[in-house]
């Protein structure tokens, strides 16, 4: 894809898209008037994030430290620890490098302190709409680059939305995506698709959101199968990155429904991996809602390869091509947890185009647990 720059018409968001664009990171830090960034990562990405040290120093910016304990689902006790570390380092901004775990931590720090947040996402799911205090550079993510923050405390995950969570600049550099493994490329990409799909039938959706959602879904659905079979395909990686950005833009613009409620319930309450959970739940949540969203199902089928006019079939085919795990039991969820998950999900439901009924919902969760193919028969 051709490089481009984009400045949001309705907010301070800025996107820099193109191969090698990470070199512009120091200039973006200076543009924000900052000079003492704290780097954030997970323990697994501690060595990778240190590559940014040289990029920043080449632009006369010296990081004041590295906090490398970012954790899935953004536990509040980790946020408290990172806040103290940022204070001790006298950081004037934070740079999060990674997927949802790291970006979530950066957002949590930013909303609590007002520190500028510079994001460098490394999965497709996190390649989302920049939030006001964030500069993002995806490798390929599922890290929620939106005005939405999900946090976990006492075994329950809650979310909140605030324009102050939005990043200022997102830098999309395809070079950072080339080492993303097959499975993470696939699940983080489907995680991004999930945001777009729910936006199609959101209560406050609109024609512009529909255009972004469908184009983002199409770009990812076409590029992800290429990537899992050819990890070094630069054009496919660029298309996926572009699709992830579009999908992220819609997540912050409209409300979400059953799919996200289920994923927050399952992830926060049973400590299930974020992108993998979204991947498993997506076709089942769509199948649950299918009777009430015929126009969405028609539009979705048109952008999913090999759907034959059936969006649920299209999603099932896509997940088969991506060779992803299909059952929550493969990630440690027990069968007896199905009832508990259903109770939590119906206790405080999101708006949804179909009424949330406990028994059909329980069966939906059971199918997710068992790894069955989705079907619209509830």
The helices-and-strands tally (H runs, E runs) of the chain is: 14, 10
* Domain at 182-370, CATH class: mainly alpha
The pLDDT value given to residue 179: 82
DSSP state of 75: B
What's the rounded Cα separation, in Å, for the pair 142 and 89?
A: 28
Alpha carbon distance, N-terminus to C-terminus of the chain: 42
Q: What's the CATH class of domain 4-177?
A: alpha beta
Number of C-beta neighbours around residue 295 at 10 A: 10
Residue with tokens 């590559």: 51
pTM of the model: 0.78
Tokens representing 131?
């939030």
- Cα 370 to Cα 168, 324, 338, 366, 367, distances in angstroms: 41, 14, 10, 6, 5
Tens of pLDDT along 137-160?
333 333 345 677 888 888 777 878
Residue bearing tokens 């999309």? 172
Q: Name the residue ranges covered by the structural domains of the chain.
A: 4-177, 182-370
Kindly report the backbone phi and psi dihedral angles of residue 143, in degrees, each rounded to the nearest multiple of 5, phi listed first.
Answer: -110, 10
297-330 pLDDT, tens digit per residue, is 999 999 999 999 999 999 999 999 999 999 999 9
The proportion of the chain whose per-residue pLDDT surpasses 70, expressed as a percent, equals 91
Most confident of 143-147, 162-166, 172-176, 304-308: 304-308
Please, which residues have CB within 8 angstroms of residue 81's CB and are 6 or more apart in sequence?
69
Q: How confident is the model at residue 27 (pLDDT cuts 50, 70, 90)?
A: very high
The DSSP secondary structure of 106-137, one letter per residue, reads HHHHHHHH--EEEEEE-SBTT----BBT-EE-
What whole-number percentage of the chain has pLDDT above 90?
Answer: 62
Domains 4-177 and 182-370 share a fold: no
Place of tokens 């959706």: 205
Q: What are phi and psi of 372, to 5 degrees?
A: -80, 160
- Residue 282 sits at φ, ψ, to 5 deg, of -50, -60
Q: What local confidence, expressed as pLDDT, does residue 213 receive? A: 97
268 vs 112, residue with greater confidence? 112
Which whole-number Å values give the CA distances from 275 to 91, 186, 188, 321, 331, in the listed order? 30, 9, 5, 17, 12
pLDDT digits (tens, 9 = 90+) for 191-246: 999 999 999 999 999 999 999 999 999 999 999 999 999 999 999 999 999 998 89
- In angstroms, the CA 64 to CA 89 distance is 6
Residue 88 has pLDDT above 70, yes or no: yes
Asked whether the CA dihedral 259, 373, 238, 185 is positive or negative, the reply is positive
Q: Residue 169: enclosing H or E segment and its boundaries?
A: strand 169-172
Range 63-78 average pLDDT: 93
């Amino acid at each position: 894809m051709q490089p481009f720059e984009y400045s949001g018409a309705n907010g301070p968001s800025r996107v820099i898209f193109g191969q090698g664009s990470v070199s512009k990171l120091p200039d973006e830090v200076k543009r924000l008037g900052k000079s003492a960034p704290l780097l954030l990562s997970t323990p697994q990405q501690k060595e990778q994030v240190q590559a940014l040290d040289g990029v920043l120093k080449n632009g006369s910016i010296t990081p004041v430290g590295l906090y490398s304990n970012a954790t899935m689902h953004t536990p509040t006790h980790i946020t408290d620890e990172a806040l103290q570390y940022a204070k001790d380092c006298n950081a004037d901004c934070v740079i999060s490098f990674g997927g949802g775990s790291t970006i979530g931590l950066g957002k949590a720090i930013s909303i609590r302190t007002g520190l500028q947040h510079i994001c460098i996402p490394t999965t497709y799911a996190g390649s989302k709409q920049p939030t006001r205090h964030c500069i993002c550079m995806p490798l390929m993510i599922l890290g929620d680059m939106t005005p939405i923050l999900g946090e976990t405390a006492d075994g329950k995950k809650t979310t909140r939305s605030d324009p102050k969570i939005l990043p200022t600049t997102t830098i999309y550099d395809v070079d950072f995506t080339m080492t993303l493994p097959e499975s993470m490329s696939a699940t983080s990409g489907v995680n991004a698709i999930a945001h777009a799909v729910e936006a199609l039938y959101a209560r406050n959706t609109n024609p512009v959101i529909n255009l972004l959602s469908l184009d983002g879904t199409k770009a990812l659905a076409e590029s992800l199968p290429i990537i899992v079979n050819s990890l070094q395909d630069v054009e496919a990686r660029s298309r996926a990155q572009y699709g992830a950005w579009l999908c992220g833009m819609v997540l912050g613009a409209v409300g979400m429904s059953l799919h996200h409620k289920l994923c927050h319930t399952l992830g926060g309450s049973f400590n299930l991996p974020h992108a993998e959970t979204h991947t498993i739940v997506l076709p089942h949540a769509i199948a649950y809602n299918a009777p009430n969203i015929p126009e969405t199902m028609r539009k979705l089928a048109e952008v999913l390869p090999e759907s034959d006019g059936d969006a649920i079939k299209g999603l099932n085919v896509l997940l088969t091509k991506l060779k992803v795990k299909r059952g929550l039991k493969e990630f440690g969820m027990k069968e007896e947890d199905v009832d508990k998950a259903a109770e939590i999900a119906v206790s405080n439901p999101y708006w949804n185009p179909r009424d949330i009924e406990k028994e059909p919902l329980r069966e939906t969760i059971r199918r997710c647990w068992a790894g069955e193919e989705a079907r619209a028969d509830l």
